[in-house]
Amino acid sequence: MEYTVKELADLAGISTRTLRYYHQIGLLPPARISQAGYRIYGEKEVDALQQILMQKAMGMGLSEIRESLSLPAEDKVRIMEEHLGKLLTKKKQIQKMIDNVSKTIKKEKGVITMTDQEKFEGLKRERIKIDEEKYGDESRQRYGADAVEGSREKLMKLSEEEYADMQSTEAEIRERLAAAVKGGMLPAGPEGRKIAGLHKQWLCYSWPAYSKKAHLGLAEMYTADERFKAYYDADVPGCAEFLREALKAHIENL
């Protein structure tokens, strides 16, 4: 089988613009160019595109994917096996969410009762679900699939007390940010240091390993990404910027 750009794009569920971009950067050149000037793709290119899309979903960057395309077959199989393992883990997490929602519906209808532990597990899974919907792709691109899955695994292992502490720390950060911005405080001052320390404490509830570089990168996203900015600026405009500057000022002493 041979495919034009549009045919292959439709088959893969991507845009023709993406396919042309992959050709432009040398990631996926067509098998040949027809006399009429059309890009034509064959079975080899279809297989390569499948690998590109699979590894992109795993959080690999285009430069890493480019290198992997030239790997021996056994290494490609190993990568696919690792990806399958992660998909199966995600499948289990989703199934647990489905089971918990089903139990909750039955409980509300009076069909069954739920233990406090089951309710608590449901809260954590719902938080992960929302985070995946909003930031899943970006998180994998920035930190890698392993780091994202590790973070979610750590969150699921939190005790009820630890999870409550995490939520109260998050609430305290927002309250202090609002008060600091309203009061005209300086991010480099004592209150900025306190907020930066609390933010590190909050991250460490779910981050498998703390990194100052990653923390600063996240701080930059708080003002660059409108979703993060809207979250922190919901009560008082300027909170996201204050947090970013406080972290930049105090990161070395955290």
Of 116, 131, 154, the residue at which a domain comes to its end is: 154
Residue 81: other Cβ atoms inside 10 A: 9
Residues spanned by the domain of 210? 159-253
| Domain co-membership, 122 together with 191 | no
Of 68, 92, 121, the residue at which a domain comes to its end is: 68
DSSP 251: G
Quote the mean pLDDT of the chain. 84
| Domain co-membership, 166 together with 246 | yes
| Domain co-membership, 55 together with 101 | no
CATH of the domain at 206: 1.10.490.50
| Domain co-membership, 163 together with 140 | no
| Domain co-membership, 58 together with 108 | no
Residue with the larger pLDDT of the pair 55 and 182 = 182
Residue with the larger pLDDT of the pair 182 and 120 = 182
143, amino acid identity: Y
Joined together, the tokens standing for residue 166 give: 């995490």
Do 176 and 195 touch, CB atoms closer than 8 A?
A: yes
| Domain co-membership, 175 together with 119 | no
Whether the predicted pLDDT of 113 surpasses 70 = no
Joined together, the tokens standing for residue 14 give: 């991507």
CATH of the domain at 43: 1.10.1660.10
Residue with the larger pLDDT of the pair 56 and 80 = 56
| Domain co-membership, 164 together with 245 | yes
Joined together, the tokens standing for residue 94 give: 């989703």
Most confident of 49-63, 85-99, 100-114: 49-63
Count of domains forming the chain = 3
Ramachandran quadrant class, 153 (left: phi over 0; alpha: psi -120 to 50; beta: rest) = alpha
| Domain co-membership, 178 together with 127 | no
Of 125, 154, 183, the residue at which a domain comes to its end is: 154
On whether the pTM is more than 0.75, the answer is: no
Residue 202: other Cβ atoms inside 10 A: 19
